[in-house]
Amino acid sequence: MKFLSTGATLKQLQWLIWIAVLLIIFFSYLPEDGLYQAGAWSVFIVVFNAIIIYGNIKFLFPRFYETGRKTTYVILAIIFVVSVGLARGFLMTFLYNKYFAVKPETITKGTIFNFMIAGFLTYLLSFIFRIAIAYFALKQQSEKILAQKSQAELNLLKSQVQPHFLFNTLNNIYYEAYREAPRTAKLIERLSDIMRYFVDESPKEEVSLSTEVQFLENYIALEKIRIRHEIELNFIKDCNADLRIPPMLFMTFVENIFKHGIDKSSSKNKIDISLVQKDGYLLFETRNQVHEKPGTNEPNGFGIENLRKRLTLLYGTNFELNINSPGNYFNAFLKVPVA
């Protein structure tokens, strides 16, 4: 409803509804009762109906029914409706006899019964009124959430200006460096690709396997420049590059290798990485020598534990994650299903 989305509150909407009801009652009484009597009855009926409706939805229903005291609610609701109905009947009769009647009228059992029936009908109407209020409140809240979402998306676009500015700057540096030092330029290009992956790809639910492998290779290339001696690296890739997988699925293992599985002073660092597709599963395995104390590859560290929790959320129990340290080596194995 456009009315609610243009700044009008739910309270203002209710006022408009009551004014509309008052006008309907007024014009229904006007032909027979005249201007003053029709006006008086309109205000009188609207006020008593509002007392019953709001007395139920604002006080009785939330304080007794919604808190589990249903029997108490039923008893109090009957007493409330009967009391308001009787008060309405006696007061209307009094005002009629005092200001409008040519011949005073007496209150009969039939009159009392009619007023009580009117009160119970209004009481039933209060539930429809309550549902309508809840609907429009929910609609207003939904529009507010959509507005906040749009603002968040706008802020995200604004926040992406700086990273992309940095990417463009790195590209310019790459072209400058390429003239003098092609190897340095290639490393700058890899760094730019890694940063672009973090900004553009990692927030996605799934990325292509080729994108994930390229990210790992870029990371490995940048890690290798911090090591004095050449690393013997064997990376086997036997899988469909177009497969879709959650991002950053293998990064924990590769990161652990360079954190704990490399001796920077040694010329005998060997790393084996395997990524194989078999029988509807991806098998990712790493193997490296242990140069530090046993267990320094974090078999029970935060990285592995967080990965295990994430895999449980993604695949339930349909995965395998094994960590072991046979002899002087550290092995990590991951098996996940692919479509």
Find out whether 333 and 322 touch, Cβ atoms under 8 Å: yes
Which residue, of 123, 143, 158, is where some domain finishes? 158
pLDDT, residue 157, reads 52
> Do residues 314 and 332 both lie within one domain?
yes
pLDDT, residue 278, reads 94
pLDDT, residue 276, reads 96
Mean pLDDT by 10 residues, the chain (339 residues): 51 87 90 87 90 92 90 92 87 84 78 82 88 84 79 58 62 72 82 83 89 92 82 92 92 87 80 94 92 51 83 92 86 92
pTM of this structure: 0.50
3-state secondary structure the chain: CHHHHCCCCHHHHHHHHHHHHHHHHHHHHHHHHHHHHHHHHHHHHHHHHHHHHHHHHHHHHHHHHCCCCHHHHHHHHHHHHHHHHHHHHHHHHHHHHHHHCCCCCCCCHHHHHHHHHHHHHHHHHHHHHHHHHHHHHHHHHHHHHHHHHHHHHHHHHHHCHHHHHHHHHHHHHHHHHHHHCHHHHHHHHHHHHHHHHHHHHCCCCCEEHHHHHHHHHHHHHHHHCCCCCCCEEEEEEECCCCCEECCCCCHHHHHHHHHHCCCCCCCCCEEEEEEEEECCEEEEEEEEECCCCCCCCCCCCHHHHHHHHHHHHHHCCCCEEEEECCCCEEEEEEEEECC
Measure the CA–CA gap between 15 and 9, rounded to whole angstroms.
Answer: 10
> Do residues 56 and 103 both lie within one domain?
yes
> Do residues 34 and 182 both lie within one domain?
no
pLDDT, residue 156, reads 56
> Do residues 226 and 185 both lie within one domain?
no
Q: What phi-psi label fits residue 327: left (phi over 0), alpha (psi between -120 and 50 degrees) or beta?
A: left
In DSSP terms, 329 is beta-bridged to 289
> How does pLDDT run across 171-186, given as a tens digit for each residue?
777 776 777 778 888 8
> How does pLDDT run across 100-145, given as a tens digit for each residue?
887 777 777 777 788 788 888 888 988 888 888 888 888 888 888 8
Measure the CA–CA gap between 113 and 202, rounded to whole angstroms.
Answer: 71
Phi, psi of 100 (to 5 degrees): -120, -25
> Do residues 121 and 62 both lie within one domain?
yes
Find out whether 252 and 310 touch, Cβ atoms under 8 Å: no
**Which token pair is 161?**
């200006």
Q: Quote the number of domains for the chain.
A: 3
> Do residues 12 and 102 both lie within one domain?
yes
pLDDT, residue 279, reads 93
**Which token pair is 171?**
């590209």
pLDDT, residue 292, reads 59
> Do residues 153 and 282 both lie within one domain?
no
Structural domain for 214, as ranges: 206-337
> Do residues 93 and 186 both lie within one domain?
no
Cβ within 8 Å of residue 137, ≥6 positions away = 10
Measure the CA–CA gap between 78 and 120, rounded to whole angstroms.
Answer: 8
> Do residues 174 and 295 both lie within one domain?
no
> Do residues 184 and 226 both lie within one domain?
no
> Do residues 153 and 164 both lie within one domain?
no
> Do residues 115 and 190 both lie within one domain?
no
